[in-house]
Each structure stands twice: as structure tokens, then as C-alpha cells.
Amino acid sequence: MENLLEIIGYSFLSGITVFLGGLLSRSFENHFQKGLTKDTIVHVSIAFGGGIIAAAVAFVLVPQGMVAFHVLPMALIFLAGAMTFFFLDRYIENKGGSLSQLLAMLMDFVPEAIALGAVFATDHKLGLLLAIFIGLQNFPEAFNSYIDLRKSGYSARKCLLVLFILSFSGILAAITGDLFLSNTPNLTAALMLFSSGGILYLIFQDIAPMSKLNKSWVPAIGANLGFLVGMIGQKLLG
């Protein structure tokens, strides 16, 4: 019971940054005038979030799957994730929306929260560090997700409501990992591989193109900084 309460506490702290990132994005939207500075900050933020997500794929999600599976099932699960999000992305685009940042954040956040719950009982330190890493990732990703939702026609209040609700999804995911997946590492690894395929598709189809700003090379540095955050997190987790 004590472990479960700790898992709930850590997953809440790592998940609440989803809502906090949305609040910051709303404040940014209200207080920054349109212009080159605002555009640069938005594009750097998108690139930074993309770098963090890419790091999560490279250092957390894919390695778990590569260890757990042989080549053929590994490839099939990864491609299943890519194709699923190919069709989902097409469907959303045909409906006139753009939710790539939100989808990528969820495909990153939820599997890692499940892993947090799954590993916490056996490795308390790893669970704590993973919670910190997830929280750091969620903040810029939620900042960008708010922008995505606004572009899709959502009101500011509705955007924040969506992010507030999603900030608690990590608690449910972590509890699920602790109660049901702590003894099934292959299922957790499969979920991570599936998510990796979806995330990688979204990065190259939507997120990376959105980060480019004409006549400015600054946003690309944001991707490096985001990936560096992931490298540091992996070093701490290791």
C-alpha cells in the first residue's frame, strides 16, 4: 500500500506539468505580441519538445523493446505503431485538425508512466528518476500541445480543461503498470515499441516540419537542447 501511494504521488507530480505547460502557453499567447520574437519562441519550443520526444524514443522506449523481442516481432510491433498513427493523423487532418503534438506527448507520457509503475516496486530509485524525467518532458510538450489545440479551433478554456484531465492519465497508467504489468515485462516492452513507431512517424511527418522558421537557424538548436535533456535523463537513470 505504501508503494502504491508513492507511485500515485510521483506520477501526479510528473503529470501535473502537462497542465502547467498549458498554463504557461496560455500566458505566452496572451502577453506576447505577434512578431518574429514570438514566432521564434514557438518554433524553438516545438523543436525542443521534438528533441525530448526523440530522446525518449532513443533512450527509453526502443531499448526496452529491442531487449525483449527478436527481430521479426520487434519490427512488426514498431511498424504497427507507425501505421496506426499514419491513419490516425490522416483522419485528424481530413477533419481539419492538427493534434500531432498532443498525440506524441500521450504516446510518450503514458507508456513511460506505465513503466514507472511497473519498475517502482523493484527499483525505487529508477522509479523516482523516471518520474522526474517524465515531468521534465511533459512541460514543453504540453506547451506545444496547447498551441496545437488552439490551431484546431479549441477555446483557451477547453484547451486547459483537456490538458488538466490528461495530466491525471499518468496516475492511471502508473497504477496499471504497478498492479497488472510489473510481472509482464514483455507486454510493457511491446507497448513501448508500438508507441515508438507512432512517435517517430509524428516527429518526421508533423513536428519537425512545424519547427522550421524561414530565415532563422535558431529553432534547430532547440532540438539539440531537447535531445540533450534526454541524454542527461538517461545518464541519471543509468
Per-residue pLDDT tens for 21-75?
Answer: 899 889 888 877 676 677 787 788 878 888 888 888 888 788 878 888 999 999 9
Instruction: Kindly tell me if the per-residue pLDDT of 1 is higher than 70.
Output: no
Q: What is the pLDDT of residues 143-152, one digit of tens each?
A: 888 888 888 8
Q: In this predicted structure, what is the pLDDT of residue 78?
A: 94
* Chain-centre distance for alpha carbon 110: 8
169 contacts 113 by C-beta, under 8 angstroms? yes
In sequence order, the 6+-apart residues with CB closer than 8 A to the CB of 46 are: 101, 144, 147, 207, 210, 211, 219, 222
Q: Write down the pLDDT at residue 43.
A: 80
| Per-residue pLDDT, 132 | 80
**Which three three-digit cell numbers place residue 55?**
530522446
CB atoms within 10 A of CB 151: 13
> Residue type at 102?
L
Residue type at 198? Answer: G
DSSP state letter for 189:
H
Identify residue 26 by its one-letter amino acid code: R
pLDDT score at 130: 75
* Structural domain count of the chain: 1
What is the domain range of residue 225?
Answer: 2-237
134, 58, 148, 135: which is closest to 98 by C-alpha?
Answer: 148
Between 190 and 119, residue with greater pLDDT: 190
Task: List pLDDT tens digits, range 80-102.
Answer: 999 998 888 787 777 666 677 78
